[in-house]
Amino acid sequence: MPLSLKKKLLKTLKISIISIASLLLLLFTLPYLFPQTVSDKIKQWANGSINGKLDFSKTRLSFFKRFPSLTLTLYDVSLKGSAPFANDTLIAAKELSFGLDLTSVFEKKISINKIYLSQALINIQSDTAGNVNYNVYKSKDKKNPADTASASLGINQILIEDSRLVYNDRSMPMQFNAHGFYYNGKGDLSKDVFDLSTHTEMESVDFSYNNQSYLVSKN
């Protein structure tokens, strides 16, 4: 092998090794450089954007939880519903993770593009008048268009795993109860009109209408 070619190969190999090592170092160190900053911005966004009461035990920022996404995970999450169900749980989950746009970590506003729910109870309720408990996201104030939020939603994926879904509509009346609920939805939910591609599986389903059971433990 000519000496010049050998030097070029060694140089290319050296650059590749340094690049890979730098990337791995970034993956390991970035979550430790900005954990409190990211957590504080997400908390600030949640407090300003959600009507229901949100509680969780701890947070963790990591690349490896949902690799290659940078994710902020909230543990032991509890979210109360909107009125008239303000005292009832809308979502309880072992883990709720937000996938973050990496470039936005260095900016004033963090962009949330993915949501992951694991081992969750999703409890959707409607009273006889048609009032529901999931109206917890505050709409933007048209009279005050200035956007001072610390985070923004540009969701392109929602993933729910190993969860339970309850839907109780007293206005119909209809009840739906699903165990082993898996949902994967992809699409640009930030647009007014969008295409949503979904895949859903349920290990066990109970369905009743007007107090009459039609499905019991069906998948």
Q: What is the pLDDT of residues 72-103, one digit of tens each?
A: 888 999 999 998 999 999 999 999 998 887 66
Q: What average pLDDT score do residues 107-111 get?
A: 71
CB 122 within 8 A of CB 166: yes
Query: In the numeric block, which tokens belong to residue 109?
Result: 């506003």
Q: What is the mean pLDDT of residues 110-130?
A: 92
Q: How far is CA 53 from CA 23, 131, 133, 198, in A?
A: 38, 18, 12, 29
For all residues of the chain together, what is the average pLDDT? 80
pLDDT of residue 146: 45
Confidence of residue 145 (pLDDT cuts 50, 70, 90): very low
Task: List the beta bridge partners of residue 87.
Answer: none
Evaluate if residue 197 carries a pLDDT over 50.
yes
pLDDT recorded at residue 60:
83
pLDDT at 9: 74
Give me the phi and psi of 33, to 5 degrees please: -85, -30
What is the enclosing helix (H) or strand (E) of 21? helix 3-33
Q: What angle do CA 125, 208, 184 make, to 5 degrees?
A: 60
For residue 144, count CB atoms less than 10 angstroms from its CB and return exposed for 0-12, middle for 13-18, buried for 19 or more.
exposed
**pLDDT score for 92:** 96
Instruction: Please provide the DSSP assignment of 94-125 as one string.
Output: EEEEEEE-GGGGGSSSEEEEEEEEEEEEEEEE
Residue 24 — left, alpha, or beta (φ > 0 → left; ψ -120 to 50 → alpha)?
alpha
Please compute the mean of the pLDDT values over residues 180-209 and round it to a whole number: 88
Q: Higher-confidence residue: 7 or 165?
A: 165
Asked if residue 160 has pLDDT above 80, the reply is: yes
Which is more confidently placed, 46 or 183? 183
Distance CA 215, CA 217 (A): 7
Predicted local confidence at residue 30, as pLDDT: 52
Q: How far apart are the first and last CA of the chain?
A: 64
pLDDT of 130: 92
pLDDT by residue (tens digit) across 1-56? 565 766 677 777 777 777 665 555 555 555 555 556 666 777 777 767 788 788 88
